[in-house]
Amino acid sequence: MGSGTGNDVLGRGLRVLGKAIRAEPRLFVVSSLGSSLFGLLIVANSYVVGFLIGHVVAPAFAAHRVSAAGLALAVAALLGISALRVASIFARRLGAGFMQFRLQARYRRAVTRRYLSLPPEWHQRHATGSLLSNASSDVEAAFAPIAPLPFAVGTIVMLLGAMIALFVTDWVLAMVGVALFPALFALNFFYSRRMSPRQIHAQRMRAKVATVAHESFDGALVVKTMGREADESRRFAVFVTELRDGLVAVGRLRGVFDPLMESLPSVGTLAVLVLGTWRLQNGAVTVSEVISVAFLFTVLAFPVRAIGWVIGELPRSVAGWDRVQAVLSAEGDLRYGEGELPGDGPAELRFDRVGYRYADGPPVLTEVSFAVPAGRTVALVGATGSGKSTIAALALRLVDPESGSVSLDRVKLPDLSAAALAGAGALVPQIPFVFDDTVRGNVSLDRPGVGDDEVWAALRLAQAERFTGGLPERLDTAVGERGTSLSGGQRQRLTLARALAGRPRLLVLDDATSAVDPRVEAAILGALRAAGTSLLVVAYRRASIALADEVVYLHQGRVVATGTHQELMATQEGYRELVTAYEKADK
């Protein structure tokens, strides 16, 4: 996205505001009416002050006596206007605040829902820090102009009311307003054009800083063990410095703009006093009218700045909105059908001439065909890069094949509903993810029908019952962020128990037991076989491979051979060498 011209940013920013107003029309009306009342009260207050000085204060000085009735009138008038201004400010701020925060919450939810609906392949192309920025600072930036927007609307009403009042008072004094008000708008427009690229650059750098920070913190273990603290600090400092310089550029321009906005109404006040004295001498105006107009110009500066605040935030709003829309309009959704799986026992998984490639890269899988019969265990064996993890992802439809089809119980996966697919299959990935929650929370995920009995049953199948029973608070033990209080093998068994608690008809293990003892792994696979669940296992250890009913041997994305472990050891030299190498590496 280019920075664009000032007109582009102004137009696009106003369209964003239009979408916000259409989304929350009632709150906008409430806040705008409150602000408009406030603006008109400023004009009214100026004329009330002028009237009181001309008809109460000045006569009191002339008579050397204060009239009780005049004093009561002054107090009543000022208190009445003050009370109305308090009510108008309350309505403006409450409406604008609710409107801004509701829009931010709505779009944060929308961005998060969109993240969760997009396939893993999309997430792999986008840095986590940038995604965090989309859901937080970008959404905040998109609706930053909402807070001052009703104030700006009230300011416009105030200026219109002021111009009418000025022309009613005296056309000569009104000409000062005719000259001043366009100058204020022109200054705001010029400010917007100059501020636009600075705000857009600063918003981009916020996302970049978040990305680098997340990467450094997420890889803290690698950074510390490799002694890269100083290098990472320097790398982070480069982006932080660029963000600082960008924000300084924003502040420098704002530092020039704000004094100019303050000085123009002061110039108008001076002009009113000069012209008002001349008109007063000619008898064209009264003292009250001159004081009213002069007082009006002295209080214009602050409300008029609200227009500048809105225009000044538009570039940042456009930058944030574009980044949010890039997520909401992202393509790559997996479309689901409405089908259900027949029966309720173990499901048959079948790959039929499946081909797949990532983006525009070379083929990862070519003409892959095999089946996992219901209730049986099939092991996927192949060298690194042969496509095993891709098959695991395709089996649970994390991605769709480029060609061919994948089916469960003869129903193609795209024809199944999302609920049916999620209920039928479960994947335990290579890298276990544990939530910052209790053991119970991590296994049950608050799913209906998964109580403590089901949690303990899943832990037994995953060979995790013993270590869980030894924890200080058993199921209520908090495991820390990413399960930091657990060992690698314990985390793997906990995530396996999570998958088993849902009673899947097909379980896919993508090297999901690599961190546990071989004997424990054999016990886990044996228990799963005895449970009758259909199993697709990415396996490396010879003992684990030997437990499978059938082995699918992959080489460079193709199925080279299928059969029992003993058959492949006898007939496939490449398989034999690979398994032997695994066995030697495991010793």
State pLDDT tens for residues 466-482.
888 777 888 778 777 76
- Do 361 and 391 contact (CB within 8 A), yes or no? no
Token digits of residue 19: 């979408």
Question: Quick one: average pLDDT of 77-94?
Answer: 85
Task: Report angle CA 19, 24, 25 to the nearest 5 degrees.
Answer: 95
Edge-first strand listing for the sheet containing 506-510: 425-428, 506-510, 534-538, 377-382, 550-555, 558-563
- For 393-431, write each residue's pLDDT tens digit: 888 888 888 888 898 888 888 888 888 888 888 888 877
Average the pLDDT over 160-180 and give the result. Answer: 78
Structure confidence at residue 351 (pLDDT): 92
pLDDT of res. 510: 82
Distance CA 76, CA 48 (A): 11
List CB contacts of 299: < 8 A, sequence separation 6 or more: 42, 45, 46
- pLDDT tens for 7-55 read 577 778 888 888 888 988 999 999 989 988 888 888 787 777 777 776 6
AA identity, residue 354: V
pLDDT at 148 over 80: yes
- Each residue's pLDDT tens digit, 528-585: 777 778 888 887 777 778 778 898 988 888 888 888 888 888 888 888 888 777 665 5
510-532 pLDDT per residue, tens: 877 666 667 777 777 777 777 77
Which residue in this structure is represented by tokens 């001052």?
148
- When comparing pLDDT for 260 and 108, which is higher? 108
Provide DSSP, 551-570.
EEEEETTEEEEEE-HHHHHH
- 461 pLDDT exceeds 60? yes
CB 53: neighbour CB atoms within 10 A?
18
**Residue 3 predicted with pLDDT over 50:** no
User: In terms of pLDDT, which residue wins out, 56 or 378?
Assistant: 378
Mean pLDDT, to the nearest integer, of 199-204? 74
In the chain, DSSP finds a helix count (H) and a strand count (E) of 23, 10
Select the more confidently predicted residue: 329 or 70. 329
Return the closest-CA partner of residue 263 out of 298, 231, 228. 298
pLDDT tens digit sequence for 179-199: 777 777 777 677 767 776 777
Cβ contact 346:374 at 8 Å:
yes
| Residue whose tokens read 């001309």 | 54
Provide the pLDDT for residue 26: 92
Q: Are 464 and 494 in contact (CB under 8 A)?
A: yes
The rounded distance, in Å, linking the Cα atoms of 336 and 412 is: 11
Q: How far is CA 9 from CA 4, 31, 151, 209, 364, in A?
A: 7, 25, 21, 24, 44
Burial of 108 (0-12, 13-18, 19+ CB in 10 A): middle
Tell me how crowded residue 25 is: count the other CB atoms within 10 A of its CB: 11
According to the model, what pLDDT value does residue 1 have?
39
pLDDT score, position 268 = 74
Q: Cα(344)–Cα(154) distance, rounded to whole angstroms?
A: 64
Q: How confident is the model at residue 2 (pLDDT cuts 50, 70, 90)?
A: very low
CB atoms within 10 A of CB 582: 17
Cα dihedral value 366, 370, 374, 376, nearest 10: -110
Compare 128 and 248 and report the one with higher pLDDT: 248
- pLDDT score, position 110: 87
Task: Give the separation between CA 100 and CA 268, rounded to whole angstroms.
Answer: 34
C-alpha angle with apex 129: 324 to 514, nearest 5 degrees? 125
The β-bridge partners of 349 are 372, 408
**Higher model confidence: residue 209 or residue 353?**
353
